[in-house]
Amino acid sequence: MGFHEVNFPDRISYGSTGGPGFNTGITELRTGIEEAVARSSSARRRYNARYGIKSHADLYELIEFFTARLGSANGFRWKDWTDYATTATGTTHNSGDASISTTDETIGTGDGSTTTFQLVKTYTSGAITRTRTIEKPVAGSIAVSVDSVAKTDGVHYTVNTTNGIVTFTSAPAAAEVVKAGCKFDVPVRFGLEIDTQLPVSIEGFDAEDLSDIPVVEIKNEDELSDEQFAGGAINHGDIIATVNMAILQGFVHVWETSSGAPIAKLPATTNLPTGGPIFSIFNDGAVSLVVQNQAAATIATVAANAAVMIFLGLDSGGSKVWRAL
């Protein structure tokens, strides 16, 4: 699936319905007791664009947008008017524009060597906190600080607005707390199935006569089912520096290392289940390949023409950790 870095029309998304949901199975036993099986550890958001269409102009703009995306073939950005900022309230359409702070969210702690940090948003209720990865921050809205000292975009750091990664020009020192705030969009696609046309009546326009127009969040890294076979493979080519790995790239990763200090950086573990093997990494090159986690800790060193299997286990405290075999 491709992704177009364009926004769905705001005036249509403003009137749409939807929000977060979870893939949870409820089984009622013969005794009446219910068992809940949470098949995902992060929310997936779904929307219905039908209710945002108020005029012929809206309808035609939707048709143009749908055609340009080739229907469900390419993703796009969607503004969720109920939750589009890292402020404590999330900022909704009736609470004014988002007041972004450099200290909205903690995105990491410096160790003197790590320069990349992922934008996130946390949701807390009682003693439970859930973390959401922010992949589509809005350009110009990101504010970053280190130990509560505001930093300057383009001078102290840069932000990749296609994946939400903040990269510092100099690594924050050990124990320095990195925080950030931003507005953000949701990466989505049309939820229509293959060969399903846009459900619009050709007899005349009436908003009440339109069928549902589903829009679903694209989950790049989410919990895998027990039976899922990762499958797939990618050849990263001749790598001399650091490359971030992703679940959707497949199970087998081949690296052609000819020089330099190549590093394969494993993805964040937040939305991944434990177990494995999750990755099979083969070094089809001349120099050693270092496999690191997101904190830049070395998980394995793969010699030339050697391979390693990567699993996701638990440490003594119950936290997820990458393991190599």
Q: Which of 177-181, 199-203, 243-247 has the lowest mean pLDDT?
A: 199-203
Q: Give CA–CA dist 46/217, Å, rounded.
A: 6
Structure confidence at residue 231 (pLDDT): 58
Dist CA 68 CA 198 (whole Å): 13
pLDDT at 219: 83
Question: Out of 11-20, 49-58, 266-275, which region has the weakest mean confidence (pLDDT)?
Answer: 266-275
Rounded to whole angstroms, how far apart are CA atoms 88 and 123? Answer: 9
| 10-24, 176-190, 231-245, 298-312: which is most confident | 176-190
Backbone conformation region of residue 36, classed left if phi is above 0, alpha if psi is from -120 to 50, else beta = beta
Tell me what pLDDT residue 268 has.
87
Separation of first and last alpha carbons in the chain: 32
Q: Specify the pairing of strand 252-256 against strand 275-283.
A: parallel
pTM, 2 dp: 0.65
Reported as a single tens digit per residue, the pLDDT across 138-163 is: 999 999 999 999 999 999 999 999 99
Q: What is the pLDDT of residue 39?
A: 64
User: Which residue would you say has higher pLDDT here, 172 or 237?
Assistant: 172
Written as one string, the DSSP assignment of 127-179 is: TEEEEEE---BPTT--EEEETTEE--BTTTEEEETTTTEEEESSPPPTTPEEE
Cα–Cα nearest to 230, from 292, 281, 271, 279: 279
Give me the pLDDT at residue 180, please. 96
Please tell me the predicted confidence (pLDDT) of residue 38: 64
Domain ranges (residues) in the chain? 2-80+186-217, 105-181, 233-324
pLDDT digit string (tens) for 38-60?
666 678 899 999 889 888 888 88
pLDDT at residue number 163: 94
